[in-house]
Amino acid sequence: MSIWRTLTYLGCFLLIAGCRQNNGALDAQDWQTYKQRFIAAEGRVIDTGNGGISHSEGQGYGLLLAVEHGDRETFQNLWQWTRANLQVRNDKLFIWRKRPNVDLKDEDHNNASDGDMLIAWALWKAGQQWQQPDYRNAADAIIADIKQKLIVSWHGLSVLLPGEQGFVKDDATTINLSYWIFPALRAFAEADPDPVWQRLGDSGLTLLQQARFGRWQLPPDWLRLTAANTQEPANNKRFGYDAVRIPLYLILGGMETQTLAKFADYWSFYQGYTPAWIDLSENVIDGYGASTGMIAVKQLTLWRNGRAQAISLPALDAEQDYYSSTLLMLSKLGAR
């Protein structure tokens, strides 16, 4: 079944189930806390767990959360900083990182496709929500460059490159399945009638069915697609900090609950403990446990897969870093 037909069938169910069972709805105080802790006055999102840098992913999440909370002033501030400091390539994509006190000429000008997608999606939503053609036009330009520069073919599947440079070798293409932001792909399909977005969404689901490793048959943070038509975990060979976003994006995209089953099996097994990662080659888990944000994704997944009767997500607090806080905020979007 096509991703788009699945989305149509499941959308109404999600709305009904959310209204009936959700007590993790968006909270104005959460947004105020998030802004105070992570959004600087000039409009940059600060990654407190990574040396205080800013990156396209963080700006995209900030823009998305601003739209969802109806905060036009913060959205515009974020967009102005993003455009001035990250949209500095010879196209409409964004450099992936901006460090404090480092000149733009000294930064890596490669992009990160998840950041590009998040920013374009947020702009597209803002253009619709606030009837701002400038936001829609900016989104359309980014979407066009994503299509032109970041989508390639691998053995009949449309594949999203993590960035324009450095991920395609003679023997393999390396991808990150958590960069398939399914609700963004749905928005892009509405903005641009090219069937490439449906193909990309369907390929993402296919890869998630095929790229299963270890005891729990989970997707890795990074995946190598070889020229010989095989798949293997890349880099640290873990399901962890990147791949935890996969079930989150499936839920935000309205995907059917059976796609969540493997994630729910894994998280159900450890009961009161939530691993931050598991090694997919040796099935070894970490010993210090997941962050509040990762636990929120777990709770949301178990609820949506029918393993929990209700969901209760905590308020944002000062103990959480940028990434954990963002995962918690996104989980509340999914619970809504």
Tell me the C-alpha distance between 136 and 79, whole Å. Answer: 13
Query: Which of helix, strand or coil describes residue 154?
Result: strand
Query: Which of helix, strand or coil describes residue 45?
Result: strand
Any catalytic annotation for residue 42? no
Which of 192, 195, 154 has its CA nearest to residue 174?
154
Strand ranges, E, within 189-319: 223-226, 231-233, 238-239, 278-279
**Cβ proximity of 75 and 67 under 8 Å:** yes
Catalytic residue among 30, 114, 221, 242: 114
How far is C-alpha 257 from the geometric centre of its chain's CA atoms?
18
**Cβ proximity of 162 and 179 under 8 Å:** yes
Amino acid at 241: Y
Any catalytic annotation for residue 265? no
Query: Which of helix, strand or coil describes residue 168?
Result: strand
Catalytic residue among 30, 47, 57, 221: 57
Active site residues: 57, 114
